[in-house]
Every structure is written in structure tokens, then in C-alpha cells.
Chain A
């Protein structure tokens, strides 16, 4: 099928797709024996525990509350007894505070509607925009694409900005990952209700769903459903086919691709150009939170890798250690591997297979053999391929060099803080230079300097 597809305007790369699990239907993962809930699994302040050792919890019981404005509560995904509030290794590789629960049975909180009945916004006039935002906030919904920014904040933009549309990010441009695709194929109706809720909450009537053309079935399905659901309503919703290009799922790139507007350099955010971007998984979580009173405690996750016996898609309770999912796919293959939370472009390499699935874990990817090891860097040949690949119009070779010689002043002038850390530069570099390692250091340092300056004033 041929689409009239759009894309973002600067840079970008074409990594190998490796979508091994595209056509593998989602299976429900087995309950873990023990569930681990790191308190910091969103952007912002870590949540504050509200349970104690020995407390009994059910599926959907709040175990930690939001701690400040930019924060989110955490709900138990299992029923059982709180074993301890301790530390556990999380995706950062460090031991961080976490609540550990021994699983007993599978008893759910009664307020959660477990039926399959599709609820519609029209049938629930009590859902005012404020009520929707409140339910999303209290359900602990955060961005499910990996960034984990609390969703309710995006829906209440600062008074200086005016939202004009909601863009659903269904791009899934990271290689390997298929969780969003499976979700779309299996729960398109719920996603569209979720989108309607988001549009109502943001008080806009325009919605877009951005999907790359490597998912023609999803484009077709959602285009058809959109016509059915929104055809006669006051909402204008369209599916926007996008050319395959990484990092199209980056918020700024997606806004550029879909509505042709470029978000200015930080601190500007998409809503400054009128767009509220939400991941397709978030739209589904919003549906469940608002319509089914189901807080965020399970998600779609792809477990994949070329050497894995049975790469699969799972609906998994958060807190489940990755090892259990890997075992369900045939176990860790022999030899040394790289274990990633996320895909190969932006995923985090983990130090342990016991790291739990969190709100943002869209994939567990196992990279094997040669691909797991970096090649030795050679001198920069100044081929400028990194400049051509950078989707932010930066000069990665220069930023890396400036960070290496610790020239922070010039780093700031060269807009290092605009870097979105997508890794396109390092991916393209023929000399295998660790460009992004250096640029990250430069970006973090310069951001620190900028914050320090702001505090002094």
C-alpha cells in the first residue's frame, strides 16, 4: 500500500528495523513471585511510600503517593504482603529506593472495572475536562514511550501557551520494539476513546495519529476506526502516515512531521507551538484510568533479541523482574550480551536481569555478539556525516570536541542543550567515535551552569 507520507525536516537516519515480533500476538505474562516497585520511575521527584512492611495490598492499591507537583503516584500491580521498603537495582544501574511485595493470589481493588465493555465519552457526561485531568493524575499515568513525564502536566499547559491539537505518537521508530504496534492492532477502539478524552481534557478539537509506513495494517485499521468514531462528531481526527526515519518518535520531530511546526530551543515545549504529544500507550492508559478506574500498573512490553528463542510481546504487571519475561521467551542465550531497557538507539544498558518492568519499559532488548561491543574509535575524518544526521541541526563532531576539552562557554553558544540524545550522530560515525558520550557530558554540565546562573539572579 502506498501512502502520501510526511516526515521531519532535518537530519535523521535509517537503522535496521529488526521488528522480530511484529506479528506475534500479545500474551499475558505470568504473575511474578515478588514484585519490585522503584519509587523513582517517572521524571520528577520520586514517589513517597504510603505502605509499611507487613501491609496487605491488592492489585490497584496505592503504595506510594506523588511527592510534589512534578511527580506521580505508584500503584501495586499485585496482591500480597509488603516484604520491605528497601533499595533495588533499577535501570540506572544504581540501587534506588523501592517497595518490594511478596505476591499472594491475584485480588483486585473493587473499584476497578475488569470487564471488556467499551466505554464511550458520550455515555459519561460527568467527565468534565477537570475531572479527566484529575483521574489521569491520581491514576499515576505518565508518558509510556519511555520518557515518563507525568501526563496531567502536559494537559494543563502554562497560560502563555495555547493547545490547538493532540498528537498521538504511534511512530515506534526504535528498532526491535513492537509493543505500541501490538497495542494498536489489539485495542484500537480503546485508544481512540483515550484520544477523545485527551482532546476533551486539553479543550481542543483536532487530533492526529502519527504512524510510520512500516505499519500499514495499523494505518489502515486506525484510519477506518477514526472515520467510524469521529466521522460525525465535532472532533477532526486524522491518521498521518509518516516516512520511516529515526528519530521520528522524538516529540519535536513528530510535531514537525505532523503539523509542520518546529518547537524552538529549550525551554520551549511542544505546546508552545500548539501541540500536545502523547504516546499511543499513554492514550490507552488514559482510557483505562478514566473509564475503568484502573490505575497504571501494567503495560505492553516487547521482549526481543536476535539470539532469543521466542521473542514475544507481553501484557505485563509492572514490578515483574525482567528475568521472568526473558525466561518465558526461552531464557538468556549463551554468552555475553547487552541487556537493554528500551531499544538499541536510546535504551539503557542494564547491569542485572532482576531489574523490574517499570512504567516506561516499552521493551527488553537483548543485543548479542559483535553488535553488543563497541568498535575501537579512529580519528575523526571530518566527513560531516554527523552534521547531516543530526535532527536538531547541531554539529555533533564539534560539540563532542568542545566537551572533551571542557570548553563549556563555547558548548553553550553551539546550543549543546538542544541535543535530544537520539544517538543518530554516533550511529552514522564511520570512525566509531563515542560522540554522544561526550555530548551528554557537555549538555549536563552546561545545563548545570545555566541553572546555577538562574539561581544567582
Chain B
């Protein structure tokens, strides 16, 4: 007879793994990635490829040469995911060296100094994007028009729907909104004008990713639904007060809102731990996004809204507790 293995219960495990979740999110991103290849061609491939490669390389190097860990963490999929999400948030004509700097911010500043996966306060990909936006405002706010699949740095750029919306509010001129593509084009991504970041062009592909993640129980509905619903209600009310504010459907389908709500705000590490906390977080992100978009200096407020709420996540975790069993009968 062999040996008896002894440990405390439970002796069964649900077979879920960190890798399954990380690669699950990556799979959920694939439809949007393929769509971006369709619309932005080699530009998208270069930006995403560079971003992923740089993120993985930085994580590997920091682990090996600075932290001197024996075990590498790049196989868990989190660095690939950060790279992919960072790429999704960039214009498809961004020079390679700027992308590498973005990856360095993401992995070298936002993730590894805090202790690596699970310990970072802010979403690494969004820190990368925000840092680049501040450091290279010109390159980070010119967006190539869709459909130029063979051009990279030389791509022709155009005005994004968000820019038009902001100008309409600033100038009090609702006629600018007439230039916006219709909702169906926004949803499918096939509008010829300037589009925005390469990953956010097609709402349908992003929603497909959401359905996949919900089905695989990678995330719950609380964060994406609360963000989208809040933006719908808030921008809907604004639209009712004055025609200079775009209609809520267009607001939701343009810019990085769906990408942020589905993939960025739901980042495990930087979002609250309880359903109630997640709803508070989602509502706050929705409100902040609409405020920044309508009255802020930047046309896009999603990434700043998420980063601001990342900072509040520890506070939310501290004060918002799940409903304890039997609580309603207490004292």
C-alpha cells in the first residue's frame, strides 16, 4: 500500500484556474481584434503585436533581473491581456517606440512595483494609455479613418464621433451632431470617418465578448450593466434637456465606452469584491464618464473615470459588505 495524503478539507477543487480566466478574457477579445484587423489592417496588427510583446517582455525582464524571482509569471496570461488591452486603447497609427513606452508604464509602473498580478491598485493598461495621452497628446488624439488596411504611420486621420459631440456642446451647435454616423453603423463599426482607438470600433464584437465572459462565468453582469445603464440614463436626461447633447444610444456606442465597461472596468484586480460594491463602482464610472465627456477637456472620459474609481476600490471594499446570511433577522 502506498502513502496516505493528509490535508484539511475541502479535498475537491472546481478545476478553475487563473489561466482559464485570463485566456478566457483574451478569447473574448478576439472578435474585436479580428474586426480591428478588418478595419485597420497592418496598423492594428503592428500596434497590438508590439504592445503584447513589449508587455510580456517587460514582465519577464522585471521578474528575472529586478525582482529576481525564480518562477516567471508570464505564462498566467495576465501580461498578454494587459498588452492586448493597451493596444486596443491606442490609435492604429501610433509609432512603435511610443507603444513600447506605454507598455513600460503599464507593466513597469502600474503592475510590477505593486507586487505583480493581484496587487496593483490601478488598471495597468489604462495607466499606460493615460500616461501616453499626457506625454504624447498629439499622437494619441489623431485617429486614423477606418478601411485603410495597408497603411500604418501614413494613415489618413479624421474626427471621431466623440470630438463632434464635444464640439456640439462647446459651440452650442446641435447641427454638428448631424455628421455623426447612425447607430447601426456605430454598432457594426462600418463608418468611414475617424473611428477612435483600434479596439473600440465595433460594439457588436465587444458585446459578443461580454456574452462569452458571462457564459463562462469569468465576470458577472454587475459592472458592465451598471455602467451602460448609468450612461444611458444620464446622457438620456441631458439629451432631453438640450439637443446639443447626443442621444444616449449614440453616446453608448461611440468611443471607448463599451470597451471600457466590458473589458477595462471589469479587471478583477482593480474592481470591488462584492456585487453591491461593483454596482456603486459601475454607477460612479458611468456618471464620471458622462461628466468628463460633456464638460471636460478630453473628448473621452472612460479611461479617466475607471482610473478614478480604481482609486476608490479599496474604500468601497472596506465599507460595502455582502449581505450576510441571516442578517435581516439580526437585532
With both beta carbons as reference points, the residue of chain A lying nearest to B78 in the complex is identified as A381
- Taking a contact as CB atoms under 8 Å apart, the answer to whether A427 and B10 are in contact is yes
Q: What B residues does A367 contact at CB under 8 A?
A: 11-12
A25 to chain B, nearest CB (A): 26
Q: What A residues does B18 contact at CB under 8 A?
A: 378, 381, 430-431
Interface window among B113-121, B159-167, B192-200, B291-299: B113-121
Q: What B residues does A10 contact at CB under 8 A?
A: 322-323, 325
Question: 3 closest A-B pairs (Cβ-Cβ)?
Answer: A423-B10, A344-B12, A336-B2
How far apart sit A371 and B12, CA to CA, in the bound complex (Å)? Answer: 7
Q: What A residues does B4 contact at CB under 8 A?
A: 336-339, 349-353
How far apart sit A375 and B16, CA to CA, in the bound complex (Å)? Answer: 11
State which of B11, B322, B328 has its C-beta within 8 Å of the C-beta of A394.
B322
* A383 touching B268 in the complex, CB below 8 Å, given contacts A264-B330, A265-B324, A345-B11: yes
Q: What A residues does B11 contact at CB under 8 A?
A: 338, 340, 344-345, 347, 349, 367, 371-372
Extra A-B contacts (9), CB below 8 Å, given A93-B6, A265-B325: A10-B323, A262-B329, A335-B2, A344-B11, A349-B7, A395-B321, A395-B322, A397-B273, A432-B17
Q: Taking chain B's interface residues, is the majority helix, strand, or loop, or is none over half, making it mixed?
A: loop
- Taking a contact as CB atoms under 8 Å apart, the answer to whether A440 and B8 are in contact is yes
* A337 touching B329 in the complex, CB below 8 Å, given contacts A10-B323, A345-B12, A388-B220: no
- Taking a contact as CB atoms under 8 Å apart, the answer to whether A430 and B6 are in contact is no
Which residues of B come within 8 Å of A, CB atoms? 1-14, 16-18, 20-21, 76, 78, 115-119, 220, 268-269, 271-275, 317, 321-330
Q: What A residues does B272 contact at CB under 8 A?
A: 384
- Taking a contact as CB atoms under 8 Å apart, the answer to whether B328 and A334 are in contact is no
Q: What A residues does B326 contact at CB under 8 A?
A: 252, 262-265, 268, 418
Report which residue of A336, A384, A428 has the largest number of chain B beta carbons within 10 angstroms of its beta carbon: A384
How far apart sit A271 and B317, CA to CA, in the bound complex (Å)? Answer: 34
A264 to chain B, nearest CB (A): 4
The answer to whether A382 has its CB under 8 Å from any CB of chain B is yes
- Taking a contact as CB atoms under 8 Å apart, the answer to whether B325 and A430 are in contact is no
How far apart sit A387 and B268, CA to CA, in the bound complex (Å)? Answer: 13
- Taking a contact as CB atoms under 8 Å apart, the answer to whether A336 and B10 are in contact is no
28 CB contacts below 8 A, A to B, read A93-B6, A252-B325, A256-B325, A262-B325, A262-B328, A263-B326, A264-B327, A273-B329, A336-B3, A345-B12, A347-B11, A371-B11, A378-B76, A381-B18, A381-B118, A381-B268, A383-B21, A384-B274, A388-B220, A388-B275, A395-B273, A395-B321, A414-B321, A427-B13, A430-B16, A430-B21, A431-B118, A432-B13
